């Protein structure tokens, strides 16, 4: 549940599994037992570094502020609440570049989700 307002730094972790290169996982570390992964497409993250990207539960867009420099904003919505995160755009871009070095976009298309996996993803969403 993200129902409580948390202002300040929240430890988050982005993860990538080369076996499922079309998705990234984001975990909040709020020190609660019900921590869950948010799963969204790697393409959405890539596009969100340049322009408004996403719809529904996950939206990303680039921003700039004098105190933090180039950032990316990530808005998450769930039945339990919502969250707005801000991260360093260069750091996210560097992480993303490493994922594409592991599995290129062309390779990703070749091992995209099966119809069954897509159905499961949509059922969860």
Give the chain's domains with CATH numbers: 11-111 (2.30.31.20)
Q: What is the DSSP letter of 1?
A: -
Q: Pick the closest to residue 42 from 116, 124, 117, 98 (CA basis).
A: 98
Q: What is the pLDDT of residues 59-111, one digit of tens each?
A: 999 999 888 799 999 998 888 778 888 999 999 999 999 999 998 888 777 76
Q: How confident is the model at residue 3 (pLDDT cuts 50, 70, 90)?
A: very low
CB under 8 Å to 32, separation ≥6 — which residues? none
């Amino acid at each position: 549940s993200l129902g409580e307002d948390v202002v300040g730094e929240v430890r988050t972790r982005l993860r990538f599994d080369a076996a499922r290169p079309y998705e990234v996982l984001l975990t909040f570390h709020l020190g609660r037992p019900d921590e869950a992964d948010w799963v969204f497409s790697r393409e959405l993250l890539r596009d969100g570094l340049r322009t408004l990207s996403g719809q529904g539960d996950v939206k990303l867009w680039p921003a700039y502020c004098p105190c933090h420099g180039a950032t990316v904003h990530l808005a998450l919505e769930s039945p339990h609440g919502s969250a707005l995160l801000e991260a360093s755009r260069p750091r996210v871009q560097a992480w993303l570049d490493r994922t594409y070095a592991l599995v290129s976009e062309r390779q990703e298309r070749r091992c995209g989700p099966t119809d069954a996996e897509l159905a499961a993803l949509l059922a969860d969403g």
